[in-house]
């Protein structure tokens, strides 16, 4: 396929890209930008298109991937949280608004004790996840596999749930929590 034929076919299909872009972005200006970026990437990478395959599907794939990459960039920018500020104020009661200060003191103390009772291998990834780090960011910072990060966070949540089950609402499903002092049944 020549460059002229490729460009001509892309121009014919470009009008069908706009509704899809609008559906993805929900904004007319962003949709126009997405279509334009898609067409630019298609024209720059025309050598990667295999003649005889579906050009429309290829363009939709470029558009979808572009949208996802842009979305991930935006959410990554907004998810950077300075953890030092969080840890500085974590144990202070003055940051909690409540109607009953005594109850809050007990709850906060119990939560802090439960978190402190976790081993550091579990506590560190859990706290990083809690303050907003993504699994991949935690894995990179701690230099451990992402599967290990997910497992440690899961175990920490399970242990905290068991340690704090006294605060579960009445009638809540506690089937997933095994009491620590009860023997397992066969």
Taken in order 52, 53, 55, 59, the sign of the CA dihedral is negative
Residues 6+ apart with CB under 8 A from 128: 83, 137, 138, 141, 142
42 CB contacts (<8 Å, ≥6 apart)? 10, 49, 58, 59, 62
Q: For residue range 54-83, what is the model confidence (pLDDT) as tens digits?
A: 999 999 999 999 999 888 888 776 665 555
pTM score, two decimals? 0.43
Is residue 109 predicted with pLDDT exceeding 90?
A: no
Query: Which pLDDT value is given to residue 139?
Result: 93
Contact 18, 35 (CB under 8 A): yes
Identify which has the larger pLDDT, 168 or 99: 168
SS (H, E, C) 116-185: HHCCHHHHHHHHHHHCCCCHHHHHHHHCCCHHHHHHHHHHHHHHHHHHCHHHCCCCCCCCCCCCCCCCCC
Q: What is the pLDDT of residue 78?
A: 63
- The listed range with the strongest mean pLDDT (73-82, 106-115, 133-142) is 133-142
Res 18: pLDDT: 92
């Amino acid at each position: 396929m020549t460059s002229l034929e490729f460009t001509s076919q892309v121009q014919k299909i470009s009008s069908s890209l706009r509704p899809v872009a609008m559906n993805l972005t929900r904004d007319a200006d962003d949709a126009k930008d997405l279509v334009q970026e898609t067409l630019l990437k298609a024209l720059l990478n025309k050598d990667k298109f295999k003649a005889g395959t579906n050009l429309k599907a290829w363009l939709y794939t470029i558009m979808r991937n572009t949208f996802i990459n842009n979305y991930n960039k935006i959410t990554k920018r907004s998810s950077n949280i300075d953890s030092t500020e969080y840890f500085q104020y974590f144990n202070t009661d003055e940051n909690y608004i409540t109607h009953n200060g005594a109850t809050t003191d007990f709850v906060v103390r119990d939560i802090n004790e439960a978190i402190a009772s976790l081993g550091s291998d579990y506590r560190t990834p859990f706290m990083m996840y809690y303050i907003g780090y993504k699994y991949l960011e935690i894995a990179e910072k701690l230099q451990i596999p992402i599967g290990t990060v997910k497992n440690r966070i899961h175990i920490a949540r399970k242990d905290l749930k068991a340690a704090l089950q006294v605060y579960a609402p009445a009638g809540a499903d506690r089937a997933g929590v095994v009491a620590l002092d009860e023997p397992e049944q066969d």
